[in-house]
Amino acid sequence: MDSSLNERHRQVLLAVIAEYVESAEPVGSRSIARRHMRGLSPATIRNVMADLEEMGYLSHPHPSAGRVPTDKAYRFYVDAMRRVPWVGATSSPAREEPPAGPPSGAERLMAETPAQLSMGTHMTGILLAPPLKQTALDRIEVLRLGDGRALAVVVTDTGWVTTQAITVDSPLVPDELREIGRTLSRRYRGKTFQEIVDDLTAPADPLDPLWTRGRPILDQIVSLLRARTLYISGAINMLDLPDLSDVTTMRGLLRAFEEKARLIDLLSRLAQERGIQVLIGGENPVEEMRECSLITSTYTYRDQVLGVLGVVGPRRMPYSDVISLVDETARLVSSSLSRVRRELYLPL
């Protein structure tokens, strides 16, 4: 909390934020005096707003207009809100828990959760399936299917299973394929997928029997381990927000959603710490998203972080409501996953 702000500064700043979030219009001293602080005159409030502008909390887009909050103001609000105990589940209507049913349930859960976040906020919902650095291997199995194909089965240390059909060009018999899986399991059990990918893509010992027998298979398994899935829902909602009406801004934001790579890297970093995280405007390392705010929370399986979900919206958003929704959704997803008693096929 900024010690340079006295109580009056804080009250006026929070009133300006609340008014601007509701109206999307620059805020004047008269509206603050009339709707939020009737005990103060517009002149007094105007002086306080001038102080806040000098301190970087408010900006003055036009000389004759009111003031709008800056990224610093929203950061003050979010940090102040975190000092007050709150429970996400009580601040928004009860929601039906996401389904986690048949063997395809995990993938459906991953796809449907961003849609629920988008519907609840009229912003963009996102969910990142388990990132490489958070996923460790238990075992790999390679099973022959016939017709030059095999099935690669990857099991994580939390019990999640993902499968992918691969091609087998060389005439490897089923026992040889199974041995490749057993060798990979012995060599890499307990290592993260990132560590495995780094090792398998490094220059190999030309005499290593694993490579001499199964190089094409290993290349396909590396692709399987490397793949990460980002689910996005409601990107078109951003077109309805007056804050993002600038064509250049919107084009860059939609490009970031479409290309995904940098957003995946960002969410992977956010998944390294549990709980709610908020990036406001210029705090976002993805340049095309610096007119937005990103609110995320990790979701877990067997008390281990499995991935991250959240909402992308304008800097002018009801942070308390959105944080509450994201927090509640993460807990519901974690709860749904924890009750699953069968192996689910999860895209990694």
Residue 49 banded pLDDT, cuts 50, 70, 90 = very high
What is the SS3 assignment for 74-108?
Answer: HHHHHHHHHCCCCCHHHCCCCCCCCCCCCCCHHHH
Res. 188: pLDDT tops 60: yes
Res. 346: pLDDT tops 80: no
For the chain, the average pLDDT equals: 83
Res. 17: pLDDT tops 90: yes
Q: How far apart are CA 304 and CA 175, in angstroms?
A: 34
Q: In what order do the strands lie in the sheet with 137-146?
A: 137-146, 149-156, 161-167
pLDDT tens digits along 310-328: 999 999 999 999 999 999 9
Q: Please report, in angstroms and rounded to a whole number, the separation of the first and last CA atoms in the chain.
A: 39
Res. 91: pLDDT tops 70: no
Residue 317 DSSP code: S
**Residues 6 or more apart whose Cβ sits within 8 Å of residue 54:** none
pLDDT of 133 reads 67
Res. 309: pLDDT tops 80: yes
Mean pLDDT calculated for residue range 250-277: 88
**Residues 6 or more apart whose Cβ sits within 8 Å of residue 278:** 78, 293, 294, 295, 296, 319, 323
Q: How far apart are CA 295 and CA 323, in angstroms?
A: 7
**CB-neighbour burial class of residue 99 (10 A; exposed 0-12, middle 13-18, buried 19+):** exposed
Predicted TM-score (pTM) of the model is 0.74
Query: Which residue ranges form the domains of the chain, and what is each CATH number?
Result: 7-82 (1.10.10.10), 92-131+229-338 (3.30.450.40), 134-226 (3.30.390.60)
Q: How many residues does the chain have?
A: 348
Res. 21: pLDDT tops 60: yes
Pair 337, 100: CB distance under 8 Å: yes
Res. 342: pLDDT tops 70: no
Share of the chain above pLDDT 90, in %: 40
Pair 285, 251: CB distance under 8 Å: no
Share of the chain above pLDDT 70, in %: 85
Mean pLDDT calculated for residue range 234-248: 83
Res. 106: pLDDT tops 70: no
Structure tokens at 273: 């710490």
pLDDT tens digits along 115-145: 999 999 999 999 998 766 667 889 999 988 8
Looking at per-residue pLDDT, the higher value among 94 and 9 belongs to 9
Q: At what angle do helices 209-226 and 174-188 cross, to 10 degrees?
A: 70
Among the residue ranges 73-82, 163-172, 181-190, the one predicted with the least confidence is: 163-172
Mean pLDDT calculated for residue range 266-272: 88
153: number of Cβ within 10 Å: 18
* DSSP element (H, E) containing 149: strand 149-156
**Residues 6 or more apart whose Cβ sits within 8 Å of residue 100:** 106, 109, 336, 337, 339, 340, 344
